[in-house]
A and B are shown apart, each in its own frame.
Chain A
Amino acid sequence: MARPVRWFSLAAAVALALPLPVGIFAHFHLWLSPNLVLQAVLSGAPLAPFQAVAAGVLLLALRQERWFCRHLCPTGALCDLAAAVRKGGASVGERVPHLHRALALAGIGAAAGGTPLLAWMDPVALFAGAWGFLRPGPAGAAVLALAGLAAVVGSNVPFPRLWCARLCPLGGFQALLGDLRRLLRRAPPVPDGALAGRRNLLASASGLAAGLILRRSLEKGGRTVVRPPAALPEGRFKATCCRCGTCVRVCPTGIVRPSDDLSDPAGLLAPRLEFTKGYCLPDCDACGRSCPTGAIRRFEAAQKGRIVLGRAEIRSEDCLVTAGRECDRCVAACPFGAIRMAGGTFDVHPEVDAGRCVGCGACQAVCPPGAVRIRPA
């Protein structure tokens, strides 16, 4: 199982995950998972050029049993390392049913229904998300980000190969491809293959149903935090985001941060914008280009003046100019010329032109007394 190429792949995934300027290659493995790419495409995200590589992976997996697991999966390599800690597995793992096909089918079904609810379970997403602990951000989010991968990898110590063989949806996806291959070759199907049990039928049907039902209900509800530009509507955004953390990683100004807000459990680890030390650049499209699930839709940097993240609100009572102090930082900082000084000589105050403001946060970031807040749109 442990081919040298797999260790090389793990080393590459780790190297790319380190905080180095590698741009959209930060989590290259995300583009390689046919499970993740299929879910993104089924839920309506346009295919990124790199994601075409996943089609090649799919063909290879069709030829050879679990080709991705054997050659590329960084999470699987870590699992094997953990399993090697204790020789000979416990028997408990053997009693857990093979759920991986069902999980893959449920995820694909949900994506076909419009919402890739289980994208976060993909092992490359778990792997990528775990590296969030390397980035500045809330400590709670760092622990949470690490927890998923730690649980998957750690489970191999008491229950070797429990994750890889029985739970992993990407493994299940490849097992389904194996079922297809056997069917094409008229070979006898495996006992709990795709066409065997009712479980798989039930899983894909319920996934599809959940996706369809949720798609409708997730359209409702506004934002309470500012999301990255061109993010899906709030409910769908939280359900679609696979928490890989790539947008957090690629944001050049460091304003994309994973949420650790426990009062919004559905939004945990989903990216939100915080304008404390920076703002959203008027000519940047990095997060949109790097999102593997389309939770942040791809957009053109040239459209940036029309993609509304929110609107600036200035509290006059905290504003320096209103208090007669020398300041015009918000006016000078606004890339869209949306703030001007209004009022007469002794009631001068900055005023936001709601038609021009897109909520990029430059005014909030620069305001010396912190009198500006971006209200999410």
Chain B
Amino acid sequence: MDRRDFLTRLTAAAGGWLAGSRGSAAGQGGRPGGAGQRPPRGKVVEPAREIPIVAEADVVVVGGGPAGVAAAVAAARAGASTILIERYNHLGGLWTGGLVLPLLATHGTDRDGRRRQVIAGIGGEMARRLAAMKMAIHEIDPVVDPEAAKVVLELMVQEAGVRVLYHCWAAGVLMENGTVRAVLLESKSGRVAVVPKVVVDCTGDGDVFYWAGESFDMMRYHIGLVHRLGNVDRVDPSKPGFKKIPLGGATPLRSVNWVNMHGEKDQDGLDLFNLSRLQQKYRIEIWNHVEKIRSTPGYEEVFLLDTASQLGVRMSRILDGQYRLTLEDSLGHKAFPDSIGVSGAWTSLAHGGKTISEKERPSWQIPYRSLVPKRTRNLLVAGRCFSFERALVEDARVIGTCLVTGHGAGAAAAVVARSGGSVQEADVAAIRKTLLEQRAFLG
């Protein structure tokens, strides 16, 4: 069907909804994020205009990172017509384009003290397919090849029948009676609208719930820029003057390493000017650093293979949802009747005077309510911006957890789209049944 066939016209006072949603977010306890933190140098008024509706779908997933792909595949497999919005030219977000290659938190310790894989379902399928292609190393917290992951994710959305819109950036929402009536996209086709039954916010920064007026916690964290090195297998330690230099971590390609960057701490990941400053600074610093490596005896063949296509924004907005998952919840094998998945832990923790090593850390259930905003009736949130307390951030923000929350939100969105009603009153039993059919592990 040609999309022109169902093109209708919506009128949007663009300036109006923008100012309105800003105000409500600030008024509800969330601190303003993004460029709003800088005092404006003046104002212009965007005239009201008509925005073409270019598509309608049961489920619209905003953001094609690990959470978004898992959500879109889950929704489509559950029978929902699904659109996935992605700003870049590939899927996988920070996992692939961001070159944050380790799929962390795949394992956790169960009640019997056994360490087992908890990332199952669609995320587990991704890991399995990458391993079968020999494009993942390590069984626990595997490191993947980014190009292979982009292909696997692409194949999975195509096989599931997800309609992917690349090269477009969600720019806002139109709210109507507490529901998202339309998601506005900025693209080479101009500003367009897609009309969802249910929206899944997988933007990482919580852009959609912010526009919808939900309250949130704004977390500043360190921001880096990952790069990869080539020819790391051609380092010659026999050269006179050789000294050992850290070259990052191994990837499935023998000659390629990925190099993490801690980056500047306490950074605002929503500030346009700040992101630009960091991007410019890191670009030069990485180049100079690699040049220094190359000028060290023995390292002449090493080269800068690529830098990530996006900054490594680790945290920004965290939803203040129906339930805020706590660190305590994650440490005591807390069982939630509405569990939509289980995640693991990848690092040690000092808690209440005791150390819990990553091998001892319990797996933790994620309740459906932590993906559900307080007010908006047709919005679910997955990925690093779902509802949890800051103490849980290290395990909540990683790829493994994003895959779990994404899968849960996608299946839930399909169930809500089919049954009608709000996400707050969703049939949790039906969601869990769908997830189990899709081989998710619910604890």
Taking Cβ atoms with an 8 Å cutoff, the residues of A that contact B are 252-255, 276-281, 284, 321-329, 332-333, 340-341, 344-346, 348, 362, 365-368
Contact = CB atoms under 8 A, between A and B. Distances in A.
B358 interface: yes
B248 interface: yes
A279 B285 contact: no
B248 A366 contact: no
B353 A324 contact: no
Contact of B355 (A278, A280, A332): A278
Interface of B: 222, 246, 248-249, 259-265, 281-282, 285, 289, 347-350, 352-355, 357-358, 394
B265 A346 contact: no
Contacts of A280: 353
Most buried by A among B281, B289, B350, B352: B350
Nearest to B264: A345
B265 A341 contact: yes
A362 B350 contact: yes
B438 to A, nearest CB: 30
A35 B149 CA distance: 74
Given A324-B248, A325-B249, A368-B347, A348 B354 contact: no
A228 to B, nearest CB: 14
Contact of B353 (A253, A328, A329, A332): A253
A346 B260 contact: no
A244 to B, nearest CB: 22
Given A321-B262, A326-B260, A345 B246 contact: no
Nearest to B259: A324
B350 A324 contact: no
Given A252-B353, A254-B354, 11 more contacts: A253-B353, A281-B352, A284-B353, A324-B248, A324-B260, A324-B261, A333-B349, A341-B262, A345-B261, A362-B350, A368-B348
Contacts of B282: 345
A325 B260 contact: yes
A99 to B, nearest CB: 44
A345 to B, nearest CB: 5
A-B interface, 7 closest residue pairs, ranked by CB to CB distance from nearest: A253-B353, A333-B350, A366-B350, A365-B355, A281-B353, A278-B354, A348-B262
Contact of A329 (B222, B248, B263, B350): B350
29 contacts: A252-B353, A254-B354, A255-B353, A277-B354, A278-B354, A279-B350, A324-B248, A324-B249, A324-B260, A324-B261, A325-B260, A326-B260, A326-B262, A327-B347, A328-B394, A329-B347, A329-B348, A329-B349, A332-B394, A333-B349, A340-B265, A341-B262, A344-B285, A346-B289, A348-B262, A365-B354, A366-B348, A366-B350, A368-B357
B348 to A, nearest CB: 5
A279 B353 contact: yes
Contacts of B281: 345
A344 B262 CA distance: 10
Nearest to A326: B260
A324 B347 contact: no
A332 B395 CA distance: 13
Nearest to B354: A278
Given A332-B394, A368-B358, A323 B349 contact: no
A333 B394 CA distance: 12
A253 B262 contact: no
A345 B279 CA distance: 12
Contacts, number: 72
B285 to A, nearest CB: 5
Contacts of B262: 321, 326, 328, 341, 348
A46 B160 CA distance: 75
Contact of B285 (A329, A332, A345): A345
A279 B259 contact: no
Nearest to A281: B353
Contacts of A367: 348
Contacts of B246: 322-324
A281 B6 CA distance: 64
Nearest to A346: B289
Contact of B349 (A281, A284, A327, A366): A366
Contacts of B349: 329, 333, 366
A333 B351 CA distance: 8
B291 to A, nearest CB: 12
A346 B347 contact: no
Contacts of A254: 354
A281 B352 CA distance: 7
A346 B355 contact: no
Contacts of B357: 368
Nearest to B293: A346
Contact of B350 (A321, A323, A326, A365): A365
Contacts of A362: 350
A194 B82 CA distance: 97
Nearest to A321: B262
A277 B265 CA distance: 28
A149 to B, nearest CB: 30
B250 to A, nearest CB: 12
A282 to B, nearest CB: 9
A333 B282 CA distance: 28
Nearest to B358: A368
Contacts of B348: 329, 366-368
B429 to A, nearest CB: 38
Nearest to A253: B353
B285 A253 contact: no
A122 B329 CA distance: 47
A241 B261 CA distance: 49
A277 B264 CA distance: 31
A279 B351 CA distance: 9
A341 B260 contact: no
A348 B347 CA distance: 19
A224 to B, nearest CB: 23
Nearest to A327: B347
A284 B354 CA distance: 13
Nearest to A366: B350
A331 to B, nearest CB: 9
A281 B222 CA distance: 27
A374 to B, nearest CB: 14
A325 B101 CA distance: 12
A368 B347 CA distance: 8
A278 B353 contact: yes
Nearest to A280: B353
Contacts of A278: 353-355
Most buried by B among A278, A284, A346, A367: A346
Contacts of B350: 279, 329, 332-333, 362, 365-366
A346 B289 CA distance: 7
A254 B353 CA distance: 9
Contacts of A281: 352-353
Contacts of B263: 345
Contacts of A279: 350, 353, 355
A341 B267 CA distance: 13
Contacts of A255: 353
Nearest to A254: B354
A156 B347 CA distance: 55
Contacts of B248: 324
B157 to A, nearest CB: 28
Contacts of A332: 350, 394
Most buried by A among B246, B264, B265, B354: B354
A329 B281 CA distance: 26
